[in-house]
């Protein structure tokens, strides 16, 4: 399976789009800049959502207000981050799939998505019962703590990929 | 922004030479720099959105009172880790035009934060100065996000 993934990455790296991004003087830095901007918007807001769930800040603001007003912005940032991330991967797929930190980042991204899905389906529907509480139910706190740890790990692995 | 002699002097200090010889100091500090920048951006963006008339329904001063600690911790650690990065690579950064832009964004951001942003975040002030609130919010967002993008551009210039 590993060989076929590597072969696919080599094929992808030789496509016209991949070569164009990699060899362009302006395109790669532009996409990378937009990627950083997307991360800054999405992770900056996600951290605040997590801080509210953990009771570490915004205690005077209702949980539903924090989520309903700020989540669209976090999703916009995530969309920008995701699209530009795909383009960056397209430009150097072989390098990416052979880096442990990149593979760990993908795993952490999947776990962050799963954590958000579980929170959305099984914890958030009962928000009316604890909307204005300073200290939230343990399941909500756990979701916030897990999200915070996973996103910090994603940033760590993403930047680490450039070094090792 | 800083005289070239400052970068040359920094390069010769023992602490800089220690950082230069260390494999992990620069990457670990850069990751922490990025993380604290995200936290600073998140905390200030939410307040700036309110100053612009969007986002959370409460007054900007109330929102700020719920996250002021994160703003200050983020600001302090972004500057703290940034200084370590500068000490670790003074000559390279001193000759980099993107770093000069980043310093301008950071300095302007800090000045606006202390002079305009904090002034407006006392109860009732933002509501009393709607135009100034919007202006300061835009400048704060431009400065902090500009610093982030300029920081990433350092690797390409």
CB B151, CB B38: distance < 8 Å: no
Q: What is the ipTM of this complex?
A: 0.86
Q: Which whole-number Å values give the CA distances from A133 to A87, A137, B59, in the listed order?
A: 42, 9, 19
Tens digit of each residue's pLDDT (9 = 90 or more) over B91-101:
899 899 999 99
- Residue B6: which pLDDT band, with cuts at 50, 70 and 90? confident
Tens digit of each residue's pLDDT (9 = 90 or more) over A98-151:
999 999 999 999 999 999 999 999 999 999 999 999 889 999 999 999 999 999
3-state SS, residue A77 = helix
Rounded to two decimals, the pTM is 0.89
Instruction: Report A:35-54 residues touching B (Cβ under 8 A).
Output: 36-37, 39-41, 43-48, 51
User: Cβ–Cβ contacts within 10 Å for residue A34, how many?
Assistant: 19
Sign of CA dihedral A62, A64, A66, A69: negative
Residue B43 burial (10 A CB sphere; 0-12, 13-18, 19+): buried
Segments making up each domain of chain B, as ranges: 4-153
Interface residues on B facing A, Cβ-Cβ cutoff 8 A: 27, 30-31, 34-35, 37-43, 45-46, 49, 55-58, 62-63, 65-67, 69-70, 145, 148-149, 152-153, 155-156
């Amino acid at each position: 399976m590993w060989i076929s993934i590597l072969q696919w990455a080599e094929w992808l790296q030789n496509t016209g789009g991949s070569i164009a991004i990699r060899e362009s003087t302006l395109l790669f830095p532009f996409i990378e800049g937009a990627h950083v901007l997307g991360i800054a918007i999405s992770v900056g807001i996600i951290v605040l959502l997590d801080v509210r769930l953990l009771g570490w800040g915004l205690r005077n603001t209702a949980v539903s207000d924090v989520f309903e007003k700020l989540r669209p912005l976090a999703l916009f940032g995530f969309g920008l981050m995701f699209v530009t991330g795909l383009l960056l991967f397209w430009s150097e797929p072989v390098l990416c799939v052979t880096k442990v930190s990149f593979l760990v980042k993908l795993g952490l991204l999947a776990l962050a998505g799963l954590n958000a899905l579980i929170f959305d389906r099984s914890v958030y529907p009962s928000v009316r019962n604890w909307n204005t509480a300073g200290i939230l139910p343990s399941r909500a706190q756990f979701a916030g703590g897990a999200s915070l740890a996973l996103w910090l790990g994603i940033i760590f692995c993403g930047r680490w990929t450039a070094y090792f | 922004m800083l005289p070239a002699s400052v970068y040359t002097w920094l390069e010769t200090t023992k602490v800089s030479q220690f950082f230069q010889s260390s494999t992990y100091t620069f990457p670990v500090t850069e990751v922490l720099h990025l993380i604290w920048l995200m936290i600073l951006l998140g905390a200030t963006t939410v307040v700036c959105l309110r100053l612009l008339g969007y986002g959370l329904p409460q007054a900007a001063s109330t929102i700020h009172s719920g996250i002021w600690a994160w703003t200050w911790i983020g600001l302090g650690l972004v500057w703290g880790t940034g200084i370590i990065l500068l000490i670790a690579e003074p000559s390279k950064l001193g000759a980099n035009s993107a770093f000069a832009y980043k310093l301008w964004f950071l300095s302007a951001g800090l000045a606006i934060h202390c002079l305009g942003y904090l002034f407006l975040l006392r109860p009732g002030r933002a509501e009393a100065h709607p135009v100034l609130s919007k202006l300061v919010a835009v400048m704060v967002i431009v400065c902090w996000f500009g610093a982030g993008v300029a920081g990433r551009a350092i690797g390409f210039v």
